[in-house]
Each structure stands twice: as structure tokens, then as C-alpha cells.
Structure 1
Amino acid sequence: MKSFYIANNRVLTHILFWVGYMAVYTGVHTGDDDMMEYFLYEVQRLPGAMLVAYVNMYLLYPRFFVKRQYAAYTIAAIVLLFVSSVICRIITEKWFEPLFFPTTTYREPIFVWYMLFKSMVWFLSPVLFFTLIIKILQQWFRQERRQQQVEKEKLSAELNFLKAQVHPHFLFNTLNNLYALTLQASPAAPTVVLKLSELMSYMLYDSQANLISLKKEVQHVKNYIELEKLRYNDRLEVSMNVSGDIEQVSIAPLLLIPFVENAFKHGVSNETDNVWVTIDIKAWAGWLSIKVENSYNDTLPAAGESADKNGIGLQNVTRRLNLMYPQAHELVIDKEPGRFSVDLKIKMP
């Protein structure tokens, strides 16, 4: 938590506070002739003001005000003002005036009620109220920062959880692909292992960052597509178009792959005829546009319309978008006869 003190220096902050106090009360008499006399009077009242300030901030405020014991705080504050006023009177009559003004003043009783009341109301009450406001604001800032920290930690934990969900879900599908090839003793199996190694390296290391280059994310998608091409052979037609300066754009890792994975899982794997997937990624004028379309069998439920395991990918990425790009993205999922599309636009920070 950041310090509330000027230049992170507690002593300097307190010194500047009391310098400001002296300047304000001495400055009230700017038009008078003898400024030094008024300055000296403020000096002799300084111990009483300091007693009010520190007892209020470090005793009365935490003991009564924070606990909402306002009546007890009010009584204690009045007693504090009275005691401090008496101390100021003692200093004035016993030491200050005899030392600095021995010929122009005369001894008065300590308990001159008018003088005590004037000191309490005019000189000491503002110190009490000002230090009370300081403590209230200080507590409010602490609560706000604590709440922001809690929200930040909660957001971070949820994002990490969602990211962790992507890993086993994606790995499960890829291993199924590899299993099918090994059953057929396909010569493509080693290539699949190599691509899988690259995919796992990306997920285990690169994706741990909050943001990653769009170029790396696109390469991750390409590796996934290569695996799917090995699985579906000539039955699958894939078109992927990338435009814009993708090296200069950073996005949340593993954000694109759920859309592509969804297209293959729900638009390709359940169909026996020739199937197609088109992927368009465009970076332009502070925006990132991703559009994924795939052939779709109308007799099958659309992805994301049910809560079963087949909807995990889109549900996950939708939640991540809401967390990472609030008010800065637009996601449209559309289903038409024979076609399913996902259109995402993100405003880059």
C-alpha cells in the first residue's frame, strides 16, 4: 500500500502540517503592525494544538469514532479541548508573558472562562476537526485501496482459473486426434507429436503472460489447424486470412483458439460430407477483428446453446472477454442454415 506521507516521509509531513498551521493563524493578522508578537502567541499555543491533534488522531479516533461511539467521542473531544486550553493558559500566564512581555502584561487567573472558551473554539477546535477529517479521508482511501486490491486479486484468480480450463479442454481434443492417427499407424503421427509439443510449449510458457503478441497467437492457431488437417485430410477445406500489423498488437493469450476449436468440434467433426472453415483476422486502426465461420448441420444444437461439455469453450472465452475487455469488445454469434459464425471485435488499449 502506498504511503500517505509527503515523499513517504512521516516526520516531514508532520513538520509541514505545523508550519502550515502557524502560517494560517499568524496570517490572520497580516494587516497588523507587530506580526512578531502574534507569531510568538501562536508559538505558545502550539503545545496545546499538538496535544489536541495527536490525542485525537491516535487515541480518540480509533477508540471511539471508528467504533461509531459518537457520543463518547464528542464528550472526550470536549474534555480534550478544555484540558488543552487550560495548558495553553498555564503556559501563557506562568512562562510566556512573564518572559516575553514582562512590562506590558499583568498576571491573570488561569481559569478565566472567557479566555478558555475562546481558546477552545477559535484556536483548538479547528485543529480537532481538521485532524478528524484527515483520519476519515485516510481510512476511506485505505478501504478503497483494499477493495481495489481484493477485486484485482479476485479478477486475477478467475482469469487464471478460466485459462487453466482452456488447457485440459484443448489438450483433450488434440490427444483424441493423435489417438485416431496412432490407431491407423499413420506416418503423420510424428508430425502430430511435434505440433503438439509446440502447442504445449505455448500453453505452458507463453500463455502465462497477461498479454502476448498477436503474431504468436496466430501461429498457435495455425498449428492447431495443421493438426486438424492431418485428421480430416481432403474432406476439410480451411481458409485463413491474416491482415494488418499483427506484430504490433497484443492480446490476452489463448483468446482465439476457442473460436477455432469450436468451429472444428461442432461444425466439422459431426459431419460426413465435405466441410469448410474460414478464419479472418484483421488488425486495423486500433481494432482487432476476428471472424470464424464454419459449415453447420442444422440438425445439431448450436455451440453455446446448451450447458453441456461441448459449450465449455465459448462460455469460457465469453467470460474472459467480459473480464479483460469490459466495454471494449463486441461478440456476435450467429447461426444460419448450413453456416455458423462468430464475429468478434476488440478495441485495443
Structure 2
Amino acid sequence: MISVTEFFQNYNPVKRVVFHLCFWFVVLGMQFIGYQRIDPDNSWLLFCKDIFSLLSIFYVTAYIIIPRWFIQGKFLLCLLWLVIIYAWWSVLTYYGALLTVNFLSPDERLKGYLLFMIDKGILGAFRISSITDYLLDFIFLVAFPLTVKIVQSFMSVRNMKVNLELKNAELELNNVQLELAFLKHQINPHFLLNTLYSIYVLVSDKDDRGERSMMRLSGMMVYLLHESNQPQIELSREFQLIRDYIELERLRYNESLQINLNLETDDEYCTLVPLIFFPFVENAFKHGPRTSASNAWVTIDISVRDNILYMHISNAYRELPKPQNYIGGLGIQNVRKRLELYYPDRHTFKTSSEAGIYCAELIVELLEKGGKNQYNK
């Protein structure tokens, strides 16, 4: 037998309609049986009045008042709304009683109740002498449906909070995985060994570039180990990481590699999630000049205008057969996940590979100044 939890998973419009129909069949069925016991031939008008008043009260309360006022703690407005719907129900009850007495032939038991309502007038629900009778009828009518909706709303809010906490936990796990993947697969031993050797040669020749290159490598490692775990970081720091990396790659390729670099921003204090586009830069070198020695080139164009980040990275490449059980693309997979978590529905990413040219394009809508990211700590 399907559980309640399983039923409400993937709660789609069809399930919603079926659930509402079943719910109202039970609630209104109870009302109908009650009126049938009083006067089966002349109570239908009052039953129609209850249907109209209950449905109007329920759906306005369920989809406007509860989410906008009750869940947000605006209880004074909720009390005002209770007075309004109580008055609305009492007016409908008065006219329902008036029409039933004038146009139908209710039995003595029902007629006595209706005459009591008519005698108290259109504002009888607010008279001290009769408010108890009115309140009992009103509570009997609306208490059960509204209580079910309030409980369901609280459960939905609780589930949303749980899902958000799970999403945050998944995000933190992804950050750790990204750091590990970056250190293991991006800044790999081969790159470090060649870079250190190039720096050693420069230092031995007393070339000033040796000291500068050592500082660049040191800055990259400090960034990766200590700064990249922040929720947001300034774009200028990401740009510096790319510049340092590219200058170190220049040591390895000398003049054999053509590098076209363009990093621009109209806001030097713009912030974004760390290490979003750096894996694409590293891939451009890893799968470009390292596999295509002839006609090797890399183009990196990253800019931010009006809080929109545009990235276009391309390189010459040559398709090589992969070894058996090859596992690759971990850095890019992590970036995709982080984009979905940090910038849902606010980014587009695509890659293309044609005629010996590999291209990666990314557009991200960043936050306005002072804006808050739901994942910021």
C-alpha cells in the first residue's frame, strides 16, 4: 500500500486535483448528510450556501492568507481576516435563511432555526445574545478544512527547510570534492614538476623571472589551499589566479605557444563563486598545446558587464585515443554541479568541438551589489 509520503512525492497537478476532489467529497458529504437529517427536501439551498462560502473561504485563505500572512507571522492581519470571513459567512447565512423561508417549505424544526437567523438580522453574528450560536456553526463549517491546510502548509515549510539544509550540505560536500579534484587532477604533479624545473633553470641563470615565477606559484597554492573555500571571492582575485597560471605555462612553452588573454570587468569589486571558470582555462592547456604541438594556441576571453559574466575559451586540439578505463572531466563535472547549485536558472554553458578547435562558452548572471546568495554563510 502506498504511503502518504510516497503519494506527496512529485506532487503534480493531476495528483493535486484528485486529492482536492476526494477531500471535498468527504467534507461536503458530511455537510450534505447533516442537512438531509434535518429536512431532505428543503435544505438544498442552505447546502449550496455552505458550498459557496466554504470554497471561497478555503481557497482564498489557503493560497493567499496562509502563505503571505500566517506563515510569515502576521497574526494581527490573520485575526482581521478571521473577522472578515466570519462576517462573509454570516451574511450568506442570513440571505440563505431568508430565501429558504420565502421560496421553500421547510419543516418546523428547520424553520425555527431559520427564523432565529432572520430575527437576529444581517449582523446577528455579532450580537452578544446570539454570537455563541453563530460561532459554533461557523467553527463546525470551516475548522476541519482550514486545519488540514494549515498543517499541510507547516509540513511544506518544514520540508523546504530540510531540503535547503540538504542542498547546503550537498554544496559543502561539492566544495570539498572540488578542492580535492582540483589539487589531484588540475594542478597535477607533471605541471608542478615542469614548472619547478623551469623556475630552477631561471634561478640558476640568475634570471629575474625565476623569482617572479616562484611568487606566482606560491600565490596560486595559497589561493587554492586557503582562499578558494570562501562562498564568494572578488573577481580580481580569480583573474590574478589565471594570470599567474598562464605566466607559468609560458615558461614551459616559451614562444611556441600563442596565448591571447583578455580579462575585463566594469566592477572591480564584483564577487562570484571561486574556481568557476579556472578548470576551463586549465583544460585549454591540458587538451590543447600538450596534445597539439604544431599550430598551438589558446584564447581566453572573460569579461563582466552589468553583473553578467561572459566567458569564451578556445584552443587548438588534436583528438587522441583514450587509454582503457580512462576517467576524465572531473573538474568540469564539479563546475557544472556548482553552477546548478549557486546559479540555478541564471547561467548557460555549452561546448563545441569542430575542425580542430575546442570551445567552451559560459554566461552567468551574478548578483547585484548588496544582493544575498542563499548559500552565503
| TM superposition score normalised by structure 2 | 0.57
Q: Does 1:158 align with 2:178?
A: no
Q: Which amino acid aligns with 2:131?
A: E
Quick one: which amino acid aligns to residue 240 of structure 1? L
Label 1:24 to 1:6 Cα distance change in 2 as closer, same or farther (>3 A): farther
Q: How far does residue 225 in structure 1 lie from its aligned partner after superposition?
A: 0.7
Q: Deviations over 1:137-175 (max 9, x none)?
A: 323332333334333433443344234422333332542
Structure 2 residue 320 is the aligned partner of structure 1 residue 300: yes
Shift in Å at residue 280 of structure 1?
A: 1.3
Q: Bigger CA drift: 251-260 or 27-36?
A: 27-36
d(CA) in 1 for partners of 2:127 and 2:337? 66
Query: What amino acid maps onto 1:283 in structure 2?
Result: V
Pairing partner for 1:278 from 299, 304, 311: 299
Aligned residue pairs: how many?
Answer: 271
Classify 1:222/1:44 alpha carbon distance in 2 versus 1 (closer, same or farther; 3 Å): same
Per-residue deviation, 1:222: 0.4
* Number of the residue aligned with 1:212: 233
1:130 aligned onto 2:146: yes
Contact 2:175 2:229 in 1 (8 A): no
Work out whether residues 291 and 341 of structure 1, in 8 Å CA contact, stay in contact via their aligned partners in 2.
yes
Rounded Cα–Cα distance in structure 1 between residues aligned with 2:300 and 2:329: 20
Q: Secondary structure at the match of 1:267?
A: coil
1:295 Cα offset (Å): 2.7
Q: Deviations over 1:209-234 (max 9, x none)?
A: 33322222111100111111122222
What one-letter code is carried by the residue in structure 2 that aligns with 1:308? Y
Task: Render the CA deviation track for 1:17-36: whole Å, top value 9, x for unaligned.
Answer: 98789877887779739969
> 112, 131, 142: which one pairs with 1:42?
131
Q: Is the 8 A contact 1:281 1:291 kept in 2?
A: yes
Determine if the alignment matches structure 1 residue 32 to structure 2 residue 48: no
Tell me by how many angstroms 1:309 deviates.
Answer: 4.6
Residue in structure 1 matched with residue 373 of structure 2 by the alignment: none
Deviation at 1:43, TM superposition (A): 5.2
Counterpart of 1:140?
A: 156
Contact 1:210 1:253 in 2 (8 A): yes
Q: What is the Cα deviation at residue 322 of structure 1?
A: 3.5
Distance 1:209 1:186, change over 3 A: same
Match of 2:195 among 157, 178, 197: 178
Counterpart for residue 244 of structure 2 = 223
Query: Shift in Å at residue 123 of structure 1?
Result: 5.2
Q: Does 1:324 align with 2:330?
A: no
**Structure 2: distance between partners of 1:20 and 1:128:** 19
Are residue 236 (structure 1) and residue 257 (structure 2) matched?
yes
Alpha carbons 1:155, 1:323 under 8 Å: kept: yes
Deviations 1:62-96 (A, max 9, x none): xxxxxxxxxxxxxxxxxxxxxxxxxxxxxxxxxxx
SS in 1 for 2:254: helix
Q: State the Cα distance separating 1:254 from its structure 2 match.
A: 0.8
**Cα separation, 1, equivalents of 2:85 and 2:339:** 52
Residue 296 (structure 2) pairs with residue 265 (structure 1): no
Query: Do the aligned residues in 2 keep the contact of 1:240 with 1:278 (CA within 8 Å)?
Result: yes
Cα separation, partners in 2 of 1:246 and 1:264, compared to 1, 3 Å: farther
Is the Cα contact below 8 Å between 2:304 and 2:310 reproduced in 1? yes
8 Å contact 2:178–2:331 — kept in the other structure? no
Amino acid at match of 2:301: D
- Structure 2 CA distance for partners of 1:19 and 1:264, relative to 1, 3 Å: same
* Alpha-carbon separation, structure 2, partners of 1:269 and 1:37: 85
Amino acid at match of 2:121: D
**Structure 1 residues 134, 247: closer, same or farther in 2, change over 3 A?**
same
8 Å contact kept, 2:195–2:251? no
Contact preservation (8 Å) 2:90, 2:122: no
What CA distance in whole angstroms lies between the structure 1 residues aligned with 2:179 and 2:214? Answer: 23
Name the CA distance, whole Å, in 1 between partners of 2:365 and 2:134.
Answer: 60
Show the counterpart of 1:339. 357
The alignment's C-alpha RMSD in Å is 4.1
Quote the offset at 1:248 in angstroms. Answer: 5.1
SS in 1 for 2:185: helix
Between the aligned partners of 2:130 and 2:232, the Cα distance in structure 1 is 62
Contact 2:194 2:252 in 1 (8 A): yes
Identify unmatched segments of 5+ residues in structure 2.
1-68, 95-117, 368-377
- Alpha-carbon separation, structure 1, partners of 2:126 and 2:339: 68
**Secondary structure of residue in 2 paired with 1:234:** coil
2:183 aligned with 1:167, yes or no? yes
CA distance in 1, matches of 2:277, 2:235: 10
One-letter amino acid of the counterpart of residue 178, structure 1:
T
- Paired residue for 1:314? 332
Deviation at 1:285, TM superposition (A): 4.7
Question: What SS does the corresponding residue of 2:247 show, helix, strand or coil?
Answer: helix
Structure 1 residue ranges without an equivalent (≥5): 50-118
